[in-house]
Amino acid sequence: MKVLVFAEQRDKILKKPALEAVRTARMIADQSGGTVTALVIGHGVSAVAGTLAGYGASEVRVMDHEKMAAYSCTAYGKCIAEVAKQVQATVVLMAATAMGKDLAPRVAVKLEAGLAADCTAIKADAATVVATRPVYAGKALLEIALTSALKVITLRPNVFSAGESSGSTVVPQKVELTLADADFASVVEGVSASAGTLDVSEADIIVSGGRGMRGPEHFHLIENLASALGGAVGASRAVVDAGWRPHEEQVGQTGKTVSPSLYIAVGISGAIQHLAGMSSSKYIVAINKDKDAPIFQVADYGIVGDAFEVLPALTSEIKKLLGT
């Protein structure tokens, strides 16, 4: 199958999930017999686009235009669908990031394609693609077959491996496409970063706090540990609903579903909707006073103890080890 993979860049840097998508595109092409075209959209992105050959792209195309410097779901969506037609792609792949999730449904409609969203496993042969995707925030896994001629697939970040680059690069081909003002009906005017924090959806290590932290004034203990580990701060629904922490940090069924390498749950009992959002983490540590808390049922390591004593000790041990 011919695979078109949209590789997202922000500030001319290819995102890690984009590299994971290119590598997975290569896997699908190898399993089904085909080639991989990678597409990068932006302005001044040709050089960085060329490096995708190192992750398995057979060829690279760029839509390099000053009007494409800012993200526009309408213009980017049109560009991806047009390139899919130009290269006669059977599969269009992208990462299930904020941008990928915004684009894939639009592209699927333009191509009359079935959509498999936020997938965690893909199997392909010459005729079919079968995808596994978590539903009910991971309480169940759905195995689906895409029965349409064209198939659009988004991949959950942090699940597929990007591997190392082989170092090879190519000179990208320019995309020929005329865009009118109407194609920019929806366009980004500005981006504001949350005050220097790492987002839970992108973090490899997350330290989350729950009601056991007893109040927002104690969350500096969570922040200190997260910062010593170079990780992100997460929160349970209870503390977000209580206004202790911003909703961007919420992990669980009505927050973010995460799968970091290490998830440390502190003072979180482990409500089912929280477990759904984090139990696919590779390693889970629970720190809780209540030895019967459900969180211990999914934890690889646990400390049954007072978070206010354990957290400072843990932070200092981590600093000792990592020199942070």
Partner 1 sequence: MKLAVCINHVPDTETKVKIGPDGKSIDRAGVNFVLNPYDEFAIEECLRLKEKKGGEVIAISLGTDAHKETLRKALAMGVDKAVLLKDDSVRDSFSVAQALADCLKGLGPDVVFFGKQSVDSDDAAVGLMVAEMLGMPSVSVVVKLEVADGTAIAEREIEGGRERVRTTLPAVFTAQKGLNEPRYPSLKGIMAAKSKPIEEKQALAAQPKVEVLSMKKPPAKSAGKIVGTDASAAAELVRLLHEEAKVI
CB 2, CB 83: distance < 8 Å: no
Q: Are 114 and 148 in contact (CB under 8 A)?
A: yes
Site mask for partner 1 (CB under 8 A), range 165-194, x = bound: --------------------xxxxxxxxxx
From CA 299, how far away is CA 240, in angstroms rounded?
Answer: 22
13 touches partner 1 (CB under 8 A):
no
Structure tokens of 132?
Answer: 């596994």
Q: List the x/- string, 121-160, binding to partner 1 by CB under 8 A.
A: ---------x--xxxxxxxxxxxxxxxx------------
Per CB under 8 A, 313 contacts partner 1: yes
Count of residues that bind partner 1 according to CB under 8 A? 99
**Span interacting with partner 1, options 33-41, 53-61, 206-214, 278-286, rule CB under 8 A:** 278-286
Q: Residue 39 to residues 4, 102, 123: CA-CA distances in angstroms?
A: 7, 17, 22
| Residues 25 to 44 in contact with partner 1, rule: CB under 8 A | none
Burial group, residue 113, by CB count within 10 angstroms (0-12, 13-18, 19+): buried
- Residue numbers 52-91 binding partner 1 by CB under 8 A: 71, 73-74, 77
Task: Closer to partner 1 by CB, 32 or 281: give it.
Answer: 281
In angstroms, the Cα distances linking 46 to 30, 83, 183 are: 26, 16, 22
Contact predicate 25/36, CB 8 Å: yes
Q: Name the amino acid, one letter, at 6.
A: F
Binding track, positions 236-275, relative to partner 1; x by CB under 8 A: ----------xxx-x-xxxx-x---xx--------xxx--
Return the residues of window 197-216 that contact partner 1 according to CB under 8 A: 197-199, 201-202, 205
Q: Is 22 one of the binding residues for partner 1 (CB under 8 A)?
A: no
Nearest residue to 249 (alpha-carbon basis) of 271, 279, 216, 272:
216
Among 1, 21, 117, 266, binds partner 1 (CB under 8 A): 117
Among 69, 121, 170, 318, which residue sits at the site for partner 1 (rule: CB under 8 A)? 318
CA pair distance 98, 38, nearest whole angstrom: 19
Residue 57 or 221 having the CB closest to partner 1: 221
Query: Residue 172 gets which letter from DSSP?
Result: P
